[in-house]
Copies of this chain bind each other. A is one copy, B any other.
Amino acid sequence: MSETVTYREALNRGMADALAEDERVFLFGEDVGASGGAFKITDGLFDRFGPKRVRDTPISEQAIVGTAIGSALMGLRPLAEIMFADFAAVCFDQIANELAKYRYMTGGQVTLPVTIRMSNGAGGGFGSQHSQAAENWLLNVPGLKLVVPATPADAYGLLRAAVRDPDPVLVFEHKHLFNLKGELNDPPAVGELGKAEIVRSGEDITLVGTQLMRHRCVEVAERLADDGVEAEVIDPRTLAPLDLDTIRASLDRTNRLLVAQECPPDGSWGASVIARVVGTQLEAFDAPPALVSAEETPVPYAGVLEEMWLPSVERILDAAKRTLDY
């Protein structure tokens, strides 16, 4: 049995099930309570679970992440919300220096089963400071698991996996996908961190993308199929841990790799994937790996500019064709 739900509904259900499953789980953040959250993702949870399990905070992101860390230290399973991933910047120390390193610096004395959800990504006209793919800020910080779901099923499944995981997990929820519909099993499946999905099989080229770009890669694959080219589309789903094996195996079959991402190229997850793969599989490449990135600028506001900033289906398609024709 399955049901069609939106990405937003899937997240909501994921939180509800996590709260119902384990008394140690509590949800907190700015306006996540009675008002149901800035994007209405936590709608109804306050009514169902009450003020102890679902709690509003002041506008104090450092305090929010700190509360998650401290609560986890003492055996709770905090599920925190940072409204926009861009605001990871105001609590970056708590995330990158405290949360990520606490277990290591104490020689394993503590575990930190913290989940932090944040709304991510561009495409909505929110401007430079509310549109970033902030997971890229944290790639170089060992100690964090980074989850980037693209479908309702993954939004549910990976959020559940995050809450059950004994380690810090950041869940990036893409704003542009909140209304995306998809199937959710009943009961819905809990996911697994570190497992990529082969969204579409193909032998001619491997397209790798997450979140919004995963969907664009699928569109590109369909356009290529019109020309008789079969692209394999892979969604890593989690960037740390990263399922390189699936990408490597695909590349061994297709011998051509394209990564599409909605961020500038330097310091990006796409560049990291390429550097890793090329470091061990140079001969597998019949063409240079293509990295299709956003522009090397902040995200512009105006619709026409923001559209150009993001890798479009056309831009990815062109890069795929160049890679195929190489």
A143 x B287 contact (CB < 8 A): no
Verify B270–A269 contact, CB threshold 8 A.
no
Which residues in A have some Cβ–Cβ distance to B below 8 Å?
A: 86-90, 92-93, 96-97, 100-101, 104-105, 127-129, 136-143, 239-240, 242, 263-272, 274-276, 278-282, 285, 287-291, 296-298, 300-301
* Sampled A-B contacts (8; CB under 8 Å): A101-B298, A140-B267, A140-B268, A267-B268, A275-B289, A278-B278, A279-B290, A282-B287
CB A50 to nearest CB in B, in angstroms, measures 33
Check A142 against B298 for contact (C-beta < 8 Å).
yes
CA distance A258 to B297 in the complex (A): 29
Q: Is the CB of A275 within 8 A of B291?
A: yes
Among B140, B264, B291, B298, the residue within 8 A (CB) of A264 is B140
Query: In the assembly, how many copies of this chain are there?
Result: 2
- The smallest beta-carbon distance between A142 and chain B, in angstroms, is 5
- A93 shortest CB reach to chain B, Å: 4
When the two chains form the complex, which single residue of B96, B267, B297 contacts A89, counting CB atoms closer than 8 Å? B96
- Among B100, B104, B139, B285, the residue within 8 A (CB) of A266 is B139
Chain B residues lying within 8 Å of A93, measured Cβ to Cβ, are 87, 89-90, 92
Known: A93-B90, A97-B86, A266-B272. A298 touches B140 (CB 8 A): no
Choice from B140, B240, B279 contacting A137 with Cβ under 8 Å: B140
Contact call A279/B272, Cβ cutoff below 8 A: no
Instruction: Note all chain B residues with C-beta closer than 8 A to A291.
Output: 275, 279
Contact B140 A128 (CB under 8 A): no
Q: Are B86 and A89 in contact (CB under 8 A)?
A: no
List B contacts of A92 (CB < 8 A).
Answer: 88-90, 92-93, 137
A86, B86: Cα distance in complex, Å:
19
B136/A267 in contact, CB under 8 A: yes
**A272 and B268: CB pair below 8 A?**
yes
* A296, closest chain B residue (CB): B142
Nearest-CB residue, chain B, relative to A278: B278
Give bound CA distance, A291 to B271, whole Å: 12
Q: Which residues of B contact A139 (CB under 8 A)?
A: 266-267
In the complex the two chains form, what is the Cα distance from A64 to B139 in whole Å? 26
Q: Which of B90, B272, B281 contacts A265 (CB 8 A)?
A: B272
- The reply to whether A129 and B101 contact each other, CB–CB distance below 8 Å, is yes
Beta-carbon contact of A140 and B129 below 8 Å: no
Cβ contact within 8 Å between B297 and A142: yes
A129 → chain B closest CB, angstroms: 5
